[in-house]
A and B are shown apart, each in its own frame.
Chain A
Amino acid sequence: DIQLTQSPSFLSASVGDRVTITCRASQGISSYLAWFQQKPGKAPKLLICAASTLQSGVPSRFSGSGSGTEFTLTISSLQPEDFATYYCQHFNNYPLTFGGGTKVEIK
């Protein structure tokens, strides 16, 4: 099974900060990676698929990059509504595992 390791697991940042979250795969997964945002008590929300394709309606301050084994989610200027937990998930083969999550909190 492919393991996804997210770092950091916890991040404290201020409004306006540039934030980068990394997701590393235990083997190459091409660009078969998605990023989700989850707020407490809510379902996950798909932000980015295929490593870098922004979903409709997602603000352009979110961007994704990478391929193979290393991927990043960047928020160019953190907004109050972005404080949440972020997960990566691969779609290279089954099982479709998630990373452990990165909680972004207010500094």
Chain B
Amino acid sequence: EVQLVESGGGLVQPGGSLRLSCAASGITISGHYMDWVRQAPGKGLEWVGRSRDKAHSYTTEYAASVKDRFTLSRDDSKNSLYLQMNRLKTEDTAVYYCATTYFHSDIYWPDQWGQGTLVTVSS
């Protein structure tokens, strides 16, 4: 059974930094594209970024709202994905979900999700 567990959320002041982790079990994430998606309190879903698999050199894509502030990385030895968040803003307050994907009809679809971790940016 695939399990994704996010951690690292918490309260941080505006302008601060935080690193989220997504630890996987039941799956080797080096062979999978991985996504981060967030949801501000009472709001809809927002795609944050994507890390391609090892075969595609772990290249990344980001939403414009986080580009140049957030960075995706991985540690194969820990089977984990990370989201380094710098220069945090109050509008980054959200539950952050990681998801792994599967390949079908030319596209990588996010089919397994973690339970999420809450990030609160406030002074």
Contacts and interface: CB of A to CB of B under 8 A. Distances in A.
A43 B45 contact: no
B113 A49 contact: no
Contacts, number: 63
Interface residues of B, number: 25
Size band of the A side of the interface?
20 to 34
A64 interface: no
Please classify the interface of chain B as helix (H, G, I), strand (E, B), loop, or mixed, using the class held by over half of its residues: strand
Interface of A: 1, 31-32, 34, 36, 38, 42-46, 49-50, 53, 55, 87, 89, 91, 94-101
Given A49-B109, A98-B44, 8 more contacts: A43-B115, A46-B111, A50-B105, A53-B105, A87-B45, A96-B47, A99-B44, A101-B44
Interface of B: 35, 37, 44-47, 50, 61-64, 97, 99, 104-111, 113-116
